Each structure stands twice: as structure tokens, then as C-alpha cells.
């Protein structure tokens, strides 16, 4: 065995063994031996170029202040994978160093949960290209200092996947890959504590299958079969898949639906400790065979649970490398609606310091709906009703609330809980769509400008808070809700497609929207440039949220060995004034985002949606 492989095996082999011991009581040594044999063959198949990348890639590449992410659907962004390769200069101009292409792996035909019902993990959706195209794209991205992220669905497979087909054919080995019950007794016991992910179009968590002659666990949809991770063969299958994808040049795997992997009666069957043991094994295996590859946890869970996906206690430094800061997104939109940053300050101060060598991914919008994850205790601390505030946000962003500029739509309303999630593009939620409905030219332009300022402020928080910031495709052009999704039969039942528009040719935009696109693109590019010059925004630095005297002013200090940086944000469409004594130290009077001077006297006046990054004097 190569010396570098041996040294990594010595370092990460114990993590594999201890993780396996948490999961499987029987045949532990035999399972471990199979994992190590698989690691040897996977590493042997890795190309010289990728092994060189493993050696050259800095361990903190995803934590760097120069790291900027872009998230896109390949077909909607550029047609297919070959088209994405042609868009590399566009991405570089935005400052992008990390490209996340939404589901690429071959999904079932027809309805497929937006690509998350995968029928083959070793091929690409035919409309997008081939696995050879993916490897070619990865090579081109690497030569332009851009890393590639793709999705890997761990919780389930499509009912057309080979494993599911063989289970239906009666193969007992593959039947054990899934949870199958002969009657409703056990499923009904589980259902007492299980939430419903899609109560509108996929109620319940179990589906009867005639071929299996049993009730099958299907958390998301009847055609998505949950995997039985209590079966070690399932883990071995996914280790092989991870090694295969890593050897195509993938730099990061977004571990989809990771919170759901382990089932336990009497619980929500989410966030179980075994999930982290599984991830520990997957990560340790990856660090042996493809050490520059990282994991992103798709854990859209509560603030008290999300930290575990980056490592807590004995899992510190042993699970995912990056994870979504869903709470930051929710709190930004909450603050804009309420014109009040206090809840955001309370909520973000609750988060523990991250383990070393990990980072948040921060974002203003994503491909998914917005669930109003407002903690009742956070709301209580301000004398607010958590239920009432969540209802207000749903009303505001669906445009029901009087005076709201938003044009979102309600997704998956649950009458029993009052839960109403929201779909909508950043531009439509921020008010650009409604502004363009105004006939009076002066008022129309004022509202467009205000919406652009709102988006700019939101992205400044995303870029400055700490972690790897993500630009969601189309936000940089202010793309609006795409109502044509209702004309496409496979999309029309799911209104999340409203905020997954196709990226048009720039010249196809009308003159007014070209101006909007040019302005937003320039502002986001300016944020990228400013961020890349500030080592204080390396993810290893700590963010400290400060309390201010004005309810609309949100302040963050980045503190650490790399220096200090003060960020000041006004989340309101009205100017705000605070005392200069509220600053932790005397800052320079130059905003590092724009290079413009700011007035920093005894009284500091912050313009509507103002956002400053300031260094100490």
C-alpha cells in the first residue's frame, strides 16, 4: 500500500472502527475488514491528477475568505453539463470558487421530487449528459480554482432503483435494504411520533406495496423508499458510491436528508445519534481515499440540533465539514418583514462556537421553501408569540399582510399545526415583482430601488456573517417567480418550482430588468471582491452579535487572530440612528464594501437597508 494511504489509514481507521461499533454489534471485525478492502481498491482507482489535487488543496479551502459559492440547476443555468463548462468565465467574474449543481444523478422517469428520487447513483440524468461529462466538467472547474459539489441522497432511493427492483422480485438480501412490515401494527406505532414532511401530497410515512406484500417506509413520497441503515450492507453500498463519485472529481457531497437515516420507535426518527456514527464512518473512509473531498450536511433542523451535524462531543471533527445555516436565512427574512433585528440577534447568539475546521454555508435563498423555524423561547424573550410571529411571516411573504411588497406563495399548509411554509424567489419576496406592477414611473423606481437595497443588505449579511456564502442562481439578476411551472405537469403540483426559474440570456431580459440585473450583479460582485480581501472573514474567526439601541440595527463583530471587523446593518426601509458609543471600538470611516466614506460621529445615521463593513482605526 502507498505510504500516504497507510498514514491516513492509521489516522482515520479508528474512526471507522468506532463508528461501526456504534452501529453493528455482530461481525464487527468482518465489516471493518470489508470497509478497508473497499478503501484500498477505491484509492487505487483514483487518478494521478486527483491524488495531486488531494496533496495540493489546502485543508481550509472551504473556510477561506475567498470562498464564494454558487448554487444552480444545470439545465436551468446552462442546458446541460457541457453548457455549464461554457459558463465558467461567468462564474469566475462573480468571484465563485465553489459550484453546487443541484440533483444530477439519474432520477426515476416522471415524478421524482425534483431529482431526489435517484434510480442510479452511477449515472447522470440523460438530459444533462454523462458521467464522463461530469468528470470533464470537474477537471475544467479545478483548472479555474472552482470546486464541484453534487447531491447524494442517503435516506432513500427511487422504487426503480436496482435494489428496490430486486427486493420486489423477492430477493431477501435486498428486501433487507428497506423497512418492510407485514401489517400496520408497527407502522402505526411509529406514526404516533413521526411528523409528515409533505402533508399535502404525501401524507403519512408508510406505503403498501403489493409486490413486497408489506408496508414500506416512505418518508417523503411513495416512490422514495427509505434505506435500512441498520443493515451494514447498505453502508457498504454507499461507501462504494462515495468513492466512485469522488473519483470523478467531485469535491463535496451534499448529504441530502441526512437527519432521517436512523429510525427509532417513540421519536421523530430524526437527529438520532446513530446518524452521526454513520457520518463518522463515511467521512473517515473519504479522508482515506479522497482526502480533499468534504461533506455538506443537508440538515434543516432546529438550532438546538444542527450543531451536531458539524460535530459535538465525541463526534467533534469527525462528521460533516459544512452545514446549512438555515436559521440565518429565516432570521434575515423575519427581520426584513418585522423591520426589527432583535429576534435575529437573540436567535443567532444561541449558536455554540463551531468545531475547528468546519463552517456554515450561509444563504439568502435556496431551492427549497422557507419554513419559519422561529423558536418559541426566542420569541418569548422579546414578549412575542412564536406562533403569532410565524403566522405574521407567512401572511407577509404570501402578500396577505396589508402593505406587504412580497409575492411568495404558501407551500404545504398544515391546518393542524398552522404551519405555512413559503415559496418564492429572493427578488419576488423582496419586492421587485410587486414594484414592477406599479404604473407610476417615479413610485415604481423608488420601490425597485428599495427592493434592490433589501436584497443587497441580505446578501451582505450572508457574505459577512461567517462561513461559505452561497449565491442562489438568478438572485444576482433579480429573477422573479416563474409562474410557468404550472404549465409543466411534473412540476405543477409542487410550487417550489416557482423559485427555480430558467436563467435567460441576458439580452432576453427587457431593458428595465437588464438595469436591475446589472445593478444586483455589480453589488454581489462587489461583495465578493470585498470579502476576498478580508482575512477576518475566514470561517475560523468568531462572529459575535451585538445588542444595539435601535430595533432595526443589527451589528456583528468578527474577532480572532486574523483581526477585527465590525458589520453594521439596518434591516428597515427607513433610516436609523444609533450612538457612536455603541460601537465596540472606534472604526475607520471607510465602508469596505463600497470604498465610500461614512459619517461616524457621536450620532451615527444608517441609511435604509444600509450595510457597512468597518475596520478598527
Tell how strand 359-363 and strand 322-324 pair up.
parallel
Exactly one of 54, 133, 226, 298 is catalytic; name it: 298
CA dist 184 and 36 (Å) reads 40
Helix (H) or strand (E) run with residue 323 in it: strand 322-324
Nearest of 131, 81, 112, 109 to residue 241 by alpha carbon: 131
What's the full length of the chain, in residues? 617
Q: Cell numbers of 320, please?
A: 460533516
Instruction: Enumerate residues 6+ apart whose C-beta is below 8 A from 266.
Output: 192, 193
Does residue 256 carry a catalytic annotation?
A: yes
Q: Cell numbers of 340, please?
A: 426589527
Look up residue 468 and give its DSSP letter: E
Q: Cell numbers of 326, please?
A: 438555515
Instruction: Enumerate residues 6+ apart whose C-beta is below 8 A from 196.
Output: 202, 203, 204, 205, 414
Q: Cell numbers of 58, please?
A: 489546502
Does residue 169 carry a catalytic annotation?
A: no
3-state secondary structure 167-233: HHCCCHHHHCCECEECCCHHHHHHHCCCCCCECCCECCCEEEECCCCEEEECCCCCCEEEECCCCHH
Instruction: Enumerate residues 6+ apart whose C-beta is below 8 A from 424.
Output: 370, 397, 406, 407, 408, 409, 481, 498, 499
CA dist 498 and 512 (Å) reads 21
Q: Cell numbers of 421, please?
A: 411554509
Helix (H) or strand (E) run with residue 262 in it: none
Q: Cell numbers of 507, please?
A: 439580452
Instruction: Enumerate residues 6+ apart whose C-beta is below 8 A from 558.
Output: 464, 466, 536, 537, 541, 542, 543, 544, 564, 565, 567
Exactly one of 15, 151, 209, 256 is catalytic; name it: 256
Instruction: Enumerate residues 6+ apart whose C-beta is below 8 A from 206.
Output: 181, 184, 187, 190, 191, 215, 216, 217, 218
Distances 290 to 57, 60, 304, 558 between C-alpha atoms, Å: 11, 15, 31, 32
**Residue that the C-alpha cell 423559485 belongs to:** 499
CA dist 455 and 472 (Å) reads 12
Residue 512: count of CB within 10 angstroms of its CB: 12
> Left if phi > 0, otherwise alpha if psi is -120 to 50, otherwise beta: which for 531?
alpha
Residues annotated catalytic, as ranges = 256, 298
Amino acid at each position: 500500500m502507498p505510504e500516504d494511504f497507510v498514514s491516513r489509514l492509521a489516522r482515520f481507521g479508528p474512526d471507522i472502527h468506532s463508528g461501526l461499533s456504534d452501529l453493528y454489534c455482530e461481525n464487527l471485525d468482518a465489516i471493518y475488514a470489508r470497509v478497508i478492502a473497499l478503501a484500498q481498491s477505491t484509492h487505487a482507482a483514483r487518478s494521478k491528477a486527483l491524488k495531486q489535487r488531494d496533496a495540493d488543496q489546502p485543508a481550509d479551502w472551504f473556510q477561506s475568505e475567498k470562498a464564494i459559492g454558487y448554487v444552480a440547476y444545470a439545465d436551468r443555468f446552462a442546458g446541460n453539463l457541457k453548457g455549464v463548462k461554457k459558463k465558467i468565465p461567468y462564474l469566475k467574474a462573480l468571484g465563485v470558487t465553489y459550484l453546487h449543481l443541484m440533483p444530477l444523478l439519474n432520477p426515476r422517469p416522471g415524478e421524482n421530487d425534483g431529482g431526489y428520487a435517484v434510480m442510479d447513483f452511477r449515472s447522470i440524468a440523460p438530459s444533462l449528459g454523462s458521467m464522463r461529462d461530469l468528470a470533464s466538467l470537474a477537471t475544467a472547474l479545478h483548472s479555474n480554482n472552482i470546486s464541484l459539489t453534487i447531491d447524494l441522497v442517503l435516506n432513500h432511493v427511487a422504487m426503480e432503483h436496482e435494489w428496490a427492483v430486486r427486493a420486489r422480485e423477492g430477493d431477501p438480501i435486498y428486501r433487507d435494504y428497506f423497512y418492510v412490515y407485514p401489517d400496520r401494527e408497527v407502522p402505526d406505532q411509529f406514526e404516533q411520533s413521526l411528523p409528515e414532511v409533505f402533508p399535502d401530497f404525501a401524507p403519512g410515512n408508510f406505503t403498501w406495496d403489493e409486490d413486497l406484500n408489506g408496508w414500506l417506509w416512505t418518508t417523503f413520497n411513495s416512490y422514495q423508499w427509505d434505506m435500512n441503515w441498520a443493515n451494514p450492507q447498505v453502508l457498504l453500498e454507499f461507501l462504494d458510491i462515495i468513492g466512485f463519485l469522488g473519483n470523478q472529481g467531485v469535491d463535496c457531497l451534499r448529504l441530502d436528508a441526512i437527519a432521517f437515516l436512523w429510525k427509532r420507535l417513540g421519536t421523530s426518527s430524526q437527529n438520532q445519534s446513530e446518524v452521526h456514527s454513520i457520518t463518522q464512518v463515511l467521512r473517515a473512509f473519504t479522508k482515506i481515499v479522497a482526502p480533499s473531498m468534504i461533506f455538506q450536511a443537508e440538515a434543516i433542523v432546529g438550532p438546538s440540533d444542527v450543531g451536531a451535524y458539524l460535530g459535538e462531543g465525541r463526534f467533534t471533527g469527525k462528521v460533516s465539514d459544512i452545514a446549512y445555516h438555515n436559521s440565518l436565512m429565516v432570521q434575515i427574512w423575519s427581520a426584513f418583514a418585522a423591520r426589527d433585528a432583535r429576534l435575529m440577534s437573540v436567535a443567532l447568539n444561541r449558536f455554540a462556537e463551531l468545531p475547528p475546521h468546519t463552517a456554515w454555508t450561509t444563504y439568502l435563498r435556496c431551492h427549497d421553501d422557507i419554513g419559519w423555524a422561529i423558536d418559541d423561547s426566542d420569541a418569548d424573550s422579546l414578549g412575542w408569540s412564536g406562533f403569532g410571529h410565524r403566522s405574521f411571516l407567512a401572511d407577509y411573504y404570501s402578500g396577505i399582510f396589508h402593505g406587504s411588497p412580497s409575492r411568495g406563495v404558501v407551500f404545504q399548509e398544515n391546518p393542524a399545526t398552522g404551519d405555512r411554509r413559503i415559496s418564492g424567489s429572493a427578488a419576488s419576496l423582496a419586492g421587485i415583482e410587486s414594484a414592477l406592477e406599479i404604473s407610476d414611473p417615479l413610485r415604481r423606481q423608488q420601490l425597485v430601488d428599495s427592493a434592490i437595497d433589501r436584497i443587497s443588505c441580505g446578501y451582505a449579511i450572508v457574505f459577512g456573517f461567517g462561513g461559505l456564502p452561497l449565491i442562489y442562481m438568478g438572485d444576482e439578476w433579480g429573477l422573479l417567480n416563474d409562474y410557468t411551472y404550472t404549465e409543466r405537469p411534473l412540476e405543477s403540483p409542487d410550487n417550489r418550482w416557482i423559485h427555480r426559474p430558467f436563467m435567460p440570456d441576458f439580452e432576453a431580459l427587457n431593458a428595465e430588468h437588464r438595469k436591475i440585473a446589472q445593478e444586483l450583479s455589480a453589488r454581489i460582485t462587489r461583495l465578493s471582491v470585498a470579502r476576498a480581501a478580508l482575512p477576518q472573514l475566514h470561517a475560523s474567526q468568531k462572529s459575535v452579535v451585538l445588542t444595539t439601541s435601535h430595533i432595526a440595527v443589527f451589528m456583528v463583530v468578527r474577532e480572532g487572530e486574523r483581526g477585527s471587523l465590525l458589520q453594521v446593518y439596518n434591516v428597515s426601509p427607513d433610516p436609523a440612528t444609533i450612538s457612536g458609543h455603541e460601537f465596540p471600538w472606534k472604526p475607520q470611516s471607510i465602508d469596505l464594501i463600497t470604498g465610500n466614506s461614512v459619517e461616524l460621529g457621536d450620532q451615527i445615521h444608517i441609511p435604509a437597508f444600509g450595510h457597512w463593513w468597518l475596520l478598527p482605526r
